[in-house]
Amino acid sequence: HLLICSSNMGFGHEPFWPGQIHRLRASSYMFLAGMLVAVTQASSPAQRYLSEDFFPGMHLLEKVKAETFRIYPQCQRIDAGEAATIDLSKGSLEQVREELEELLQIPEREPLELPWAMFDVEGKRLEDLASLRQAEAFFILEIGQWMWPAVQVGFEQTLRDVRQDGVAVVLRTLSVRPVVFEVKDFMTTEETEEVMEIGRKQGLHSSLGQMQSRDLKSGKAHTEFRTSKQAWLSNNLSPLIEKLDERTSQLTRIPASHNEPVQLLRYDEGKYYHSHMDWTELELYPDQPRIWQDTHFGHQDRLATVFWYLNDVAEGGETIFPKHGQPICAPRSRGGPETSHCDGSSDPDMQSCETGLKVKPTRGSVILWYNFVATGRGDRN
């Protein structure tokens, strides 16, 4: 769940522009996540990616000698002696995949579901045995698409190929439940000003969301849960939009063809967007078959959201994750009631701005959060 509140905006009631939401679709690829595990050697390149927490669907493999790799399920820190190993010198790629599926208990793929995939620590897809054997460490993501490892709050990863001007940016973990990252200086001040001006020229209109079936039946108005204004900005509107679209792709390591058009949002003083998901809980739309079809029955949905902040405000404007810190219920389950509620998990007050992780807007920065866990299941946190 995430909540956007923008009361008491300050700066002479200057509106809050949270900028663009880039929502990434999983279409022809699959999402990936992993579990990271501990290593005894401090010099190991995998050491920094191991966590005291666990990340369903994300797994880390570390080279220990020649073509033998140690397996750390769910990227969780464990004693090296307890970890299984696999020898990549034996058999074909297909045989290696079969052995890994057995060792990691990766479930059989469902219709429309992407095959699980392997990536190096920078998010480059590894598609043959030679690439795997050369790697010092690599990730397996059951979702089939790259997802950055969160590891722990405060963990930082330096990315030198995101901005076109060569300026390095730092991906910093703000939360692991749910997984949320922050990148400062993703955009320049001049770029933020230009994007806002493009939006003004395009014209902003009242934001409309996808109404749940029960809300449609009750006649609920969009303004009861969302009062922002918005505009959709396609790449052909400006070279800058296309440039930022590609920059976003470089950040996520997901092809730009998966990006939805940029959604520009403006919150005037006192406006809000109540708690909601950025992915589709299909059970909430039982009599809307088009939504089921559009999301390929849950396998083609919004993997991630990249939120650009276009201006600063004196007060308010936070993006809030009200279920911050809550557990993933039934982490290996593919769905059902047990995935919605468990010990330590509860649904928030959809209108409250008082609890949860609050991310204050900073001009030029972005936050990236994943709407799915690496197993391919939607993240209700």
Q: How far apart are CA 169 and CA 22, in angstroms?
A: 18
Q: Give me the pLDDT at residue 162, please.
A: 97
Q: Give me the pLDDT at residue 286, please.
A: 76
Q: How far apart are CA 293 and CA 114, in angstroms?
A: 16
Q: What is the model's pTM? A: 0.85
Give which of 232, 365, 373 is closest to 304, Cα–Cα.
373
Q: Give me the pLDDT at residue 205, please.
A: 84
- Residue 214 burial (10 A CB sphere; 0-12, 13-18, 19+): exposed
Give which of 185, 201, 312 is closest to 264, Cα–Cα.
201
Q: Give me the pLDDT at residue 221, please.
A: 62
The per-residue pLDDT for range 184-196, each reduced to its tens digit, is: 999 999 999 999 9
Start-end of H helices in 209-357? 213-218, 239-252, 289-294
The stretches in the chain having pLDDT less than 70 are 1-43, 206-209, 211-213, 215-216, 219, 221-225, 279-280, 282, 284-285, 291-292, 296, 298-300
> Are 252 and 368 spatial neighbours (Cβ–Cβ below 8 Å)?
yes
The per-residue pLDDT for range 42-79, each reduced to its tens digit, is: 457 789 999 999 999 999 999 999 999 999 999 999 88
Q: Give me the pLDDT at residue 22, please.
A: 43
